[in-house]
Structure 1
């Protein structure tokens, strides 16, 4: 009997208004949180939760197509909805799309749980982030 190949997991999400939607096929890579100043400004939050996918595994499916981008550094652009302004993630020059966990339809999926935290020094001393304590 022939074994069936395991189908990659599909992750779906999008912006607040639904104009920009995405589908990303797993596995999800490098789920983490970040408290750098750029992530704070991009999201309006003290800590941003991210997960990465190779860009060839992310498809933009909503009526607006691809998100708008702002060139935020010499290696990456921040992605957002041109209609509602929702932050969606970052599109890196290396073929990686980092998506914000809050943009997923099911952000509580266990495999999306951040495994580490970067740029701890960027957060206020009173802000405590526990990663991996699930």
Structure 2
């Protein structure tokens, strides 16, 4: 839009400022909730999901009883335990990696590496998985040979 007057010699009309608008960066970060099968341990995480991926390592397949686990990262400082049972029971898979699970029903909920600023939550412990698609598959070579994986467009095998 041109800001000049149609009449010669008339000064241009100053543009009016736009009203204040919110941008995506002003919006509050998304909050997601999740829980174990029995519901005694539940949690809340805040932020944009990071690094959603499948993992078929020997630990995941044994812990889950399935061919892979879907992991999704969130800022560790956003994790709040909200259930009646409080925090999960912890198991060290490696000297620097702990996994949290419900001692009552056995649901595997989270994984936290020492010195990490992220907590990885099991994707299907989330109440709502909308918008979360795996972008990679760690230890794909260990996956069951009959397992067919379709990753999100533009993703890698991992």
Pair in the same fold by TM > 0.5:
yes
Equivalent pair of 1:22/1:61 in contact (CA under 8 Å): yes
Alignment correspondent of 2:102: 81
Residue of 104, 120, 125 corresponding to 1:103: 125
Of structures 1 and 2, the one scoring higher in RCO (CA 8 A, sep 6+) is 1
- Does the residue aligned with 2:94 lie in a helix, a strand or coil? coil
Runs of 5+ unmatched residues, structure 1: none
How large is the RMSD of aligned CA atoms in angstroms? 1.3
Alignment correspondent of 1:128: 148
Runs of 5+ unmatched residues, structure 2: 1-18, 154-158
Q: How does 1:17-28 map to 2 (within 5 A)?
A: 17-28=38-49
Q: CA deviation digits over 1:82-106, x for unaligned, max 9?
A: 2211111212212321101110111
Distance in 1 of aligned mates of 2:106 and 2:96:
22
- Does the residue aligned with 1:72 lie in a helix, a strand or coil? strand
Q: CA deviation digits over 1:45-101, x for unaligned, max 9?
A: 111101011210111111111111101012211110122111112122123211011
Distance in 2 of aligned mates of 1:3 and 1:68:
45
TM-score of the two chains, using structure 1 as the length reference:
0.91
Deviates more, 1:49-58 or 1:88-97: 88-97
Q: Is 1:60 paired with 2:65?
A: no
Equivalent pair of 2:31/2:44 in contact (CA under 8 Å): yes
TM-score of the two chains, using structure 2 as the length reference:
0.78
Distance in 2 of aligned mates of 1:96 and 1:76:
12
Q: Runs ≥4 in structure 1, deviation > 2 angstroms?
A: 1-4
Q: When you count strand as a share of all residues, which structure comes out higher?
A: 1
Aligned residue pair count: 131
Deviates more, 1:1-10 or 1:59-68: 1-10
